[in-house]
A and B are shown apart, each in its own frame.
Chain A
Amino acid sequence: MKHHFSVAVGPTGFRIGAAWRAPIAALEQLYAAYPKPEEGLADFTVRLEPQTRLRLWLRPSVAINGDFMLPDALPLPLAQGVLAAEMGMNLQMAMGQRHFLLLHASSVERDGKALILTGESGSGKSTLSALLGERGWRFMGDEFALIDPVSGLAYPFPRPISLKNEAIAVMTDALPADRFGPLLPGTPKGDIRHMIPAFSAIAAMSVPARPALILFPRFGYAADVRDMGGSEVFVRLTQASTNYVALGERGFDALSNLVTQVPARAIDYPDTENAVALVEKLWAEYT
Chain B
Amino acid sequence: MRRDVEALYAADPRTGFRICPLDSLTAYYHRRSGVTHVVADPVPQILTALHGTPLSLEALLAHLVAADGLIITEDSKAALAERLEELCTIGLVLRI
Contacts and interface: CB of A to CB of B under 8 A. Distances in A.
Interface size class of A (residues with CB under 8 A): 10 to 19
A229 B18 CA distance: 20
Q: Chain A: interface secondary structure?
A: helix
Contacts of B22: 229-231, 233-234, 259-260
A256 interface: yes
Contact of B24 (A229, A252, A259, A260): A229
A249 interface: yes
A253 interface: yes
Contacts of A252: 18, 20, 27, 29, 36
Contacts of B24: 229, 231
A45 interface: no
Given A229-B23, A229-B24, A249 B18 contact: yes
Interface in A85-109: none
Nearest to A238: B36
Interface in B17-37: 18, 20-25, 27, 29, 31, 34-36
A248 B35 CA distance: 8
B38 interface: yes
A235 interface: yes
Contacts of B21: 230
Contact of B23 (A230, A245, A256): A230
Interface in A242-259: 244-245, 248-249, 252-253, 256, 259
B18 A260 contact: no
Contacts of B38: 231, 234-235
Nearest to B20: A256
B24 to A, nearest CB: 7
Of A230, A233, A245, A252, chain B has the most CB atoms within 10 Å of the CB of: A252
Interface in A240-287: 244-245, 248-249, 252-253, 256, 259-260
Contacts of A231: 22-25, 27, 38
